[in-house]
Structure 1
């Protein structure tokens, strides 16, 4: 009887424990030793898989974790996205899809450790790099600095995260072995006191025993490296690994080495080709690291999807990211094993301590197709009573609008001739006069003006501005949306230049929200459709609704290539952005969000579709561009005549990896930089440049924010190796000439305005031997 009672007591304990694993675990330790990490005092190589819980439907979390484990990984690495947990100030959400503690418990249940990267900034090609938009309601805020309000909100948020995760550290029997301090801060600035304050905040929350680390690039990690933190490097597939760790080895010869982001692929931007990276390069790099006892986190092992409005944008300029975060990762967007997966798994088996590799789990859902169906219901953008008057146009943030659109309206003066409308609109503006569509101003194309016809006094000017993701990388993350400044009309009247600064605006915010879409349909049933330029006769701008019926549920890929630009909701779930320019033409729809029987699809299309039809296909379309013209910069009219120009510098770069600086004999003034590549270090190589900077007279780098490529006589378009890669803030991407293109090669950059330039900084490709490195050159500033 006594034995029976004991068995029942044990059974009851297991039944009510959070998980069986948690009941069995005991406190442990994770520290740094001599050239190695130590797990419970024993040498340990971290083999981490980066995955992001908000980019994976919660019902699929455990499957994705098991897929990572099947690759031979022993940990998962996660960002904490501040803006998804605190979408309104002081309103925190760690439930459902946001239950990060449960994600960590699932990792532990499956024998995986966890590395946590709680920001506050995370980048991740995510809206505003993870920072919440409402910070910008304080217009003078300084982000990622010791701004009092910013630091106050950071500490509140980190404390809330700590309430979820601090009980799950390894010292308390949980899976969390390391926490990161900030994120790639060397690519943002140099501010050790700020980084130190973030460190102290996290230490107070997680305790002195938990390992804290920093990540940065090998070229900038010393800027903010703190003596009491572990330093790790970030670099991509194909990189020269010894070169990446060379400086760290000089400074800390006994420190463990870790690549905290080994980039398996890359992210996609609207209007550019789908990015891929060779599987062999990825596998060889990881093999080399493991053979040398170097730890890593594979970014991404599984990328997933930036559902809804969460995809960010990159800079300089404005380059919004697509909805898919497939990343060319070993586990694709919908959780299936790719050829990369199997090559990686085969290599990782060598480092599995002689044990059999974990089984590859079966996908939780089958792939299904959906026959073509039409979205037959239509509703114009419904204008409710939330009209905001103001003398000047207001930004979204001033109107307390995070995401969506705003409709700006004012009366026009009399302008009897053609004129030019100028404004800065973030991000996609459509201009109407008395309901007639005039044209667009697209921030992606760096457009800021539009020609207007002759205007009668009192005509109505309407501007519909749609916001895309806020910039997630670099100094431009302070990215206000809407019209950001004055709206001006310039014209020549009777031989005089006349300027009108338009005032007295009325604004209607239109939230990106499923409930707003439903309200539009409800209102359209009982109210006369408004005739303010968005009725169906005006190219069909508005909401569309249709339905499809399923006998069985499964994952599918809804095709929207016949549509214009906007957002999609399926059964109330915000699926993400669409844009006909591509390269993404389908949206991944998880089967766990579908149902047997009738399923609803709502499309918000701000441009209007060619045909309002949708179908579900068995595989995604991530590489189909539908552009007005090629992305190449080879318009012969933009090629400068340099025959009579005097170079700012001539000479030869040195062979090998790493930054090189060419100082000019005298300060050069000009708006354009032209670099002529006369030869490469290895004969027959295609010329390549990873990054370029210019230094001003003070020796500091000139801002590259206004830079754009003016001309390139050769660019490899298929691999996205275009001229803008030399100033995209990413050392692993590069401009590359086409195969067989004859030397010399010419690349011309428009600096945006005249600059005084004293030197040029040049970075070749990061791979072993720096392929495509330039040897002889001429540099012009004109």
Structure 2
């Protein structure tokens, strides 16, 4: 006989008309979740409808169910549905209601995560860019301007998806409020406002909030059921959760089988053995969970975000998930399915997994037409000084600032920090590149015997999606000047500003020419296919830019890797002729493309970077002869450790000198390094950068030093181990951007690695210049 739970699943998967009559209850009991009063363990997997072509939604959901999931966790990205203020889009690819109905048809419950903030390596964490048109707005706070917009969004979500709650016959059983707010703030009233708005929007199912283990009690309010996020050590994480949740089911809101990729750093692969072991621990102990990601998919278009301080994310969101970017299932999927099958509800049976979709190759073809950017500029607007892109009502793409510079001697061009990459041209000749990754905002301008045209072409990549860096305005802002070695500074004014959003209208207006264009340009070509299977576009001969096929934007590419291909879903192709447009800001080695049957996700080319591929500095240390302002010993434990100096240290740079590790080995590993103000509150990290690290692992994994200040506890800095093993002492130096008062530090060790690389004795130096950079 089938169990009550299985019968409920069957009822929930009826057609919409029947489901509307089959209303159910979902509650949080003393020791279990209760679906119509019956205990249920939520076996959930994360899947984002925006990252999967609508034509493949049902296919991916079927794979989720076949893997053993009984629920799907679904983020909503506010900016995906309200790119223009007040204009909501719930059609086509944005039809989340249909996605939920398809999930229900496959026997899956839905855990909804509508924000307003999501993160998810998505542009601005899902927040809409137009909020940044207000120069004073404070995102994710009780700033009335932010709260009003957020409440309007939540009300709209309730209108669209409220009828699909389980209490009304739909599949939605829980709704998240905000996301990992403990990483950002500690305002209970803010969380209370959003919880109230969610209830007022018509959601009557349980509301919940998620946070990582180290932040589980931050801004926690009784209206929201707490769940914990982690990638390892479920026993320790659930123990920490139980300290704030004396009774009730335990749940992991995000359980990581892999990790996301950023441009210029190694492709991430998860530890499958550890993932399966941790998953089984939760199943054995009736812990609910959501595998983040069960299927990652692709950040098509220009939707990929950026990790902090600024490491832009690849368009591939493969995540080393059990279901690959293209929906393939392999060993990780099969082992997950086998494990799940041992912990099913009585009478529950998993459906067979669909076969992998067919793939095809496409022979190499040339792109023989081009359209130079400088020959296809829109009508400019005039401005005395340059402003951020948002101030010109532009949300993404490129922006060109143009002015005339006077005759004069060689001089240094000083700009504001560029967001994100800027190509500098004088009379059409490229003379330098501005690079946000390296905080490079100066370029030498050659001597001039007559006035010349200065062009600053700025590319905006995805906005930072984590921490206070989400206040990520693009382009340039403020004073731009020329400073000669001798003489007075010349402030440049009277600019022409050209806005290029890379939208359909702009592409349709391009003037194409036969042959190769000079400088940054668009390229166009066609190819023929007799069938429309998936393929992977090989872009390894190109520089840096964006690709469209038949009007569909596949995302961004960059020769530095690790991704060298772009996923092309079969439904976006046509039998016969297909059009490709490529924007390349650097220029291709050869203007050719081809389609491969397998993706290339793990090939780095640091030699193709126009700047240093690593934040690792070989500058000269200036610590000799300095007396450390603080020295002590960290405790040997997993948890984050907060250290108060008992005095205030002041300076622009801080050096952490590590003398040894708890295990006596050569490695140093840090998950996060926070600095505290005089009152013990974390200092904002948005303008920090690493200016020195004596060692970092960049070949076998992403152990870059920048990971210590990106707010993500699940990645880390790791000293080199694959080729060399640098000995102690290890040194890491932060530049805070401005003179700063520091009252302490918080060190978070790498989770789940016992004592390997865990710091022991250390020293702190604070000053204005602790390293002489090249």
TM-score, normalised relative to structure 2 = 0.92
What SS is found at the alignment partner of 2:409?
coil
- Residue number among 295, 318, 330 corresponding to 1:326 in the alignment: 318
- Residue number among 223, 229, 245 corresponding to 1:228 in the alignment: 223
Alpha-carbon distance in structure 2 between the residues aligned to 1:584 and 1:731 = 24
Q: Which runs of 5+ in 1 are unaligned?
A: 1-16, 526-534
Alpha-carbon distance in structure 2 between the residues aligned to 1:698 and 1:344 = 46
Alpha-carbon distance in structure 1 between the residues aligned to 2:414 and 2:30 = 64
- Residue number among 134, 137, 145 corresponding to 2:141 in the alignment: 145
Instruction: Go from structure 1 to structure 2 and tell me whether the alpha carbon gap of 1:770 and 1:27 turns closer, same or farther (over 3 Å shift).
Output: farther
Alpha-carbon distance in structure 2 between the residues aligned to 1:179 and 1:633 = 40
Alpha-carbon distance in structure 2 between the residues aligned to 1:636 and 1:118 = 44
Q: Which runs of 5+ in 2 are unaligned?
A: 1-11, 768-774
Q: Is the 8 A contact 2:707 2:716 kept in 1?
A: yes
Instruction: Go from structure 1 to structure 2 and tell me whether the alpha carbon gap of 1:134 and 1:702 turns closer, same or farther (over 3 Å shift).
Output: closer
Matched, 1:88 2:84: yes
User: How far 1:474 moved relative to its partner?
Assistant: 0.7
Determine the structure 1 residue equivalent to 2:241.
248
What SS is found at the alignment partner of 1:219?
helix
Determine the structure 1 residue equivalent to 2:4.
none
Matched, 1:538 2:518: yes
Matched, 1:337 2:319: no
What SS is found at the alignment partner of 2:160?
helix
Instruction: Go from structure 1 to structure 2 and tell me whether the alpha carbon gap of 1:319 and 1:636 turns closer, same or farther (over 3 Å shift).
Output: closer
Determine the structure 2 residue equivalent to 1:306.
299
Matched, 1:701 2:682: yes
- Residue number among 430, 448, 451 corresponding to 1:437 in the alignment: 430
- Residue number among 664, 668, 672 corresponding to 1:687 in the alignment: 668
Instruction: Go from structure 1 to structure 2 and tell me whether the alpha carbon gap of 1:137 and 1:710 turns closer, same or farther (over 3 Å shift).
Output: closer
Determine the structure 2 residue equivalent to 1:284.
277
Alpha-carbon distance in structure 2 between the residues aligned to 1:348 and 1:596 = 40
Determine the structure 1 residue equivalent to 2:261.
268
| TM-superposition CA deviations, 1:506-525 (whole Å, max 9, x none) | 11111212442231036x69
Matched, 1:608 2:587: yes
Alpha-carbon distance in structure 1 between the residues aligned to 2:438 and 2:239 = 40
Alpha-carbon distance in structure 1 between the residues aligned to 2:188 and 2:616 = 44
Alpha-carbon distance in structure 1 between the residues aligned to 2:416 and 2:448 = 18
Determine the structure 2 residue equivalent to 1:372.
364
Matched, 1:638 2:620: yes
Alpha-carbon distance in structure 2 between the residues aligned to 1:543 and 1:385 = 15
Q: Is the 8 A contact 1:555 1:589 kept in 2?
A: yes
Instruction: Go from structure 1 to structure 2 and tell me whether the alpha carbon gap of 1:404 and 1:702 turns closer, same or farther (over 3 Å shift).
Output: same
Alpha-carbon distance in structure 1 between the residues aligned to 2:234 and 2:524 = 52
Determine the structure 1 residue equivalent to 2:550.
571
Alpha-carbon distance in structure 1 between the residues aligned to 2:680 and 2:84 = 42
Determine the structure 2 residue equivalent to 1:395.
388
Determine the structure 2 residue equivalent to 1:720.
702
Q: Is the 8 A contact 1:557 1:588 kept in 2?
A: yes
Q: Is the 8 A contact 2:458 2:475 kept in 1?
A: yes
Instruction: Go from structure 1 to structure 2 and tell me whether the alpha carbon gap of 1:738 and 1:433 turns closer, same or farther (over 3 Å shift).
Output: closer
Q: Is the 8 A contact 1:423 1:488 kept in 2?
A: no
Alpha-carbon distance in structure 2 between the residues aligned to 1:349 and 1:288 = 15
Alpha-carbon distance in structure 1 between the residues aligned to 2:209 and 2:709 = 25
Instruction: Go from structure 1 to structure 2 and tell me whether the alpha carbon gap of 1:566 and 1:283 turns closer, same or farther (over 3 Å shift).
Output: same
Q: Is the 8 A contact 1:411 1:458 kept in 2?
A: yes
| TM-superposition CA deviations, 1:645-683 (whole Å, max 9, x none) | 322333322112111133336543444333333332224
Determine the structure 2 residue equivalent to 1:215.
210
> What does residue range 59-70 of structure 1 map to in structure 2 within 5 Å?
59-70=55-66
Q: After alignment, is 511-520 or 123-132 more displaced?
A: 511-520
Instruction: Go from structure 1 to structure 2 and tell me whether the alpha carbon gap of 1:159 and 1:18 turns closer, same or farther (over 3 Å shift).
Output: farther
Instruction: Go from structure 1 to structure 2 and tell me whether the alpha carbon gap of 1:588 and 1:634 turns closer, same or farther (over 3 Å shift).
Output: closer
- Residue number among 482, 500, 503 corresponding to 2:490 in the alignment: 500
Instruction: Go from structure 1 to structure 2 and tell me whether the alpha carbon gap of 1:143 and 1:575 turns closer, same or farther (over 3 Å shift).
Output: same
What SS is found at the alignment partner of 1:145?
coil
Determine the structure 1 residue equivalent to 2:74.
78
- Residue number among 38, 41, 45 corresponding to 1:45 in the alignment: 41
User: How far 1:33 moved relative to its partner?
Assistant: 0.6
Determine the structure 2 residue equivalent to 1:677.
658
Alpha-carbon distance in structure 2 between the residues aligned to 1:746 and 1:683 = 13
Q: Is the 8 A contact 2:562 2:604 kept in 1?
A: yes
> What does residue range 440-519 of structure 1 map to in structure 2 within 5 Å?
440-493=433-486, 496=487, 498-519=488-509
Instruction: Go from structure 1 to structure 2 and tell me whether the alpha carbon gap of 1:226 and 1:573 turns closer, same or farther (over 3 Å shift).
Output: same
Alpha-carbon distance in structure 1 between the residues aligned to 2:679 and 2:100 = 49
User: How far 1:742 moved relative to its partner?
Assistant: 5.2
Instruction: Go from structure 1 to structure 2 and tell me whether the alpha carbon gap of 1:492 and 1:711 turns closer, same or farther (over 3 Å shift).
Output: closer
Instruction: Go from structure 1 to structure 2 and tell me whether the alpha carbon gap of 1:62 and 1:661 turns closer, same or farther (over 3 Å shift).
Output: same
Q: Is the 8 A contact 1:672 1:748 kept in 2?
A: no
| TM-superposition CA deviations, 1:27-80 (whole Å, max 9, x none) | 111111112111111111111110000100011000100111111110000011
The Cα RMSD (Å) is: 2.2
Q: Is the 8 A contact 1:213 1:232 kept in 2?
A: yes
User: How far 1:445 moved relative to its partner?
Assistant: 2.3
Matched pairs, number: 746
Instruction: Go from structure 1 to structure 2 and tell me whether the alpha carbon gap of 1:391 and 1:747 turns closer, same or farther (over 3 Å shift).
Output: same
Instruction: Go from structure 1 to structure 2 and tell me whether the alpha carbon gap of 1:505 and 1:243 turns closer, same or farther (over 3 Å shift).
Output: same
User: How far 1:766 moved relative to its partner?
Assistant: 1.4
Determine the structure 2 residue equivalent to 1:257.
250
User: How far 1:330 moved relative to its partner?
Assistant: 0.8
Q: After alignment, is 648-657 or 304-313 more displaced?
A: 648-657
Q: Is the 8 A contact 2:669 2:716 kept in 1?
A: yes
4+ residue runs over 4 A deviation: 629-636
What SS is found at the alignment partner of 1:663?
strand
Determine the structure 2 residue equivalent to 1:296.
289
What SS is found at the alignment partner of 2:213?
coil
User: How far 1:143 moved relative to its partner?
Assistant: 1.6
Alpha-carbon distance in structure 2 between the residues aligned to 1:697 and 1:158 = 37
Q: Is the 8 A contact 1:240 1:768 kept in 2?
A: no
Q: Is the 8 A contact 1:268 1:325 kept in 2?
A: yes
User: How far 1:699 moved relative to its partner?
Assistant: 3.0
